[in-house]
Structure 1
């Protein structure tokens, strides 16, 4: 798989997808982008994987696109460059199309396309040493991997404009304050927490999760009545599932529930 630049393992219902180019701070070149897209699409249909953790090796999440590789393409025409962008669009579609829980465990740098990818996660966990930036304008480029679409939905339009226009770096606490990150953790606690959350979500109803994820993605451009209609249809499907029937049986029998959200160490 792209000379192991993307590694995938599945353990007890949790898939761990790791960018593995630590010498380049996990920057994504063409082959790595294609491998990541293929892995995400495969995971959508892999019944072994009920939740996914996306991370990077070597203390960094992803430094973005491989700038050295970009320099090698200096003679390409505009049309050829547009064709090249198609692979980033396919990566964005694969991230958006994953109907399973996706957790981003962000350590070190998450710049450019790396930050763009993190925006697709259902939950973003960052380490205290995380450094993030929409760096594109620094080198005269525009955001890619769907960041124009995703970033305003995560942090709001005005903050998205500021982050894109300034191309400035920000850290873990600011990511938490603006709602981009859910939790800030010590570096050595990052993956254990990501795995705990993923394991918990792997025990939830895949039907209910997929329905909620789809609806939440649609709500920014939907009106109230449309959302109520989606709710009614989704609830009819969820309440017909085997998971729901088993949950009701366990409740009546006073047995432990199938799903429980794990508390943080500081909460216990």
Structure 2
């Protein structure tokens, strides 16, 4: 794995660390395929139950590398589009990963770093950290899906203000809006994220993957479409060994052991 993305395992939790501290963990072009590959590997590893994404040296991610973007006008339209699609492929991989992904945000997130955080399922953020969608300050427009994520998370007027002004929005307001799942004291974010990830990693992985799909689709679907998707997921879950274990454990008044089932084939009819 590239040094731009550090990986380590703590039990069933995979920790991915953006490692470019001299540039506040700006995303280089090499970072995009590195994170995409790490997510793909985690997806197929039955021993990984949850993922934590964080930045080195107490800062999450400052977005794209402006030193590289300073030369983007020299490229053709197609070359520029190809570069953006590499970023977007990474965001899709993060968003579509069936395993719970927790963003652990110390310091702050800016530009595409906000996209990276919001593409995760859950967000643990330091109480003094911030988000900044600051593309406008350098004459650029947002990418990485950030306008879509913001549209799902807050009123249009606030999302427009953040994008037009590039002003920072701080952790307490993010929590008030329901965007941050946990506020932690500075220096305690990783610990809280790891505690949450370790708890999720003990859960029914295939069921949680279906739950993630339902939650992603809910805001864009009509009620009828969502009912159909819920029926599809429930039918799959009812035939899954995870449900058999979970229901048996409940009736027998014992803790369910979903970890033992993690190596089963996805779809889980066994």
C-alpha displacement of 1:140: 0.9
Number of the residue aligned with 1:151: 150
**Aligned Cα RMSD in Å?**
1.6
| Distance in 1 (alpha carbons) for counterparts of 2:35 and 2:144 | 13
**8 A contact 1:10–1:48 mirrored in 2:** no
Q: Distance in 1 between matches of 2:241 and 2:230?
A: 19
Give the paired residue count: 258
Distance in 2, matches of 1:15 and 1:95, equals 14
**2:44 aligns to what?**
45
Could you say which residue in structure 1 is the equivalent of 2:78?
79
Structure 2, unmatched stretches of 5+, are 259-270
CA contact (8 A) 2:5 2:31 kept: yes
Superposition pairs for residues 128-143 of structure 1, below 5 Å?
128-143=127-142
Structure 1: which 5+ residue stretches go unaligned?
260-268
Deviation sequence 1:137-193 (CA, Å, 0-9, x none): 111111111112222112233322221112111211111112221121012321111
Partner of 1:222: 221
Q: Contact between 1:27 and 1:62, CA under 8 Å: does it hold in 2?
A: yes
Distance 2:131 2:222 in 1: 33
Corresponding residue of 2:4: 5
Task: For 1:63-212, list aligned pairs within 5 A.
Answer: 63-212=62-211
- 1:257, distance to aligned residue in structure 2 (A): 4.2
DSSP 3-state at the match of 1:68: helix
TM-score, reference length from structure 2: 0.90
Q: Give the TM-score normalised by the residue count of structure 1.
A: 0.91
The Cα offsets for residues 42-75 of structure 1, whole Å up to 9 and x where unpaired, read as 2222222111111001010001111112224442
Is 1:234 equivalent to 2:225 in the alignment? no
**Cα offset, 1:11, TM superposition:** 2.4
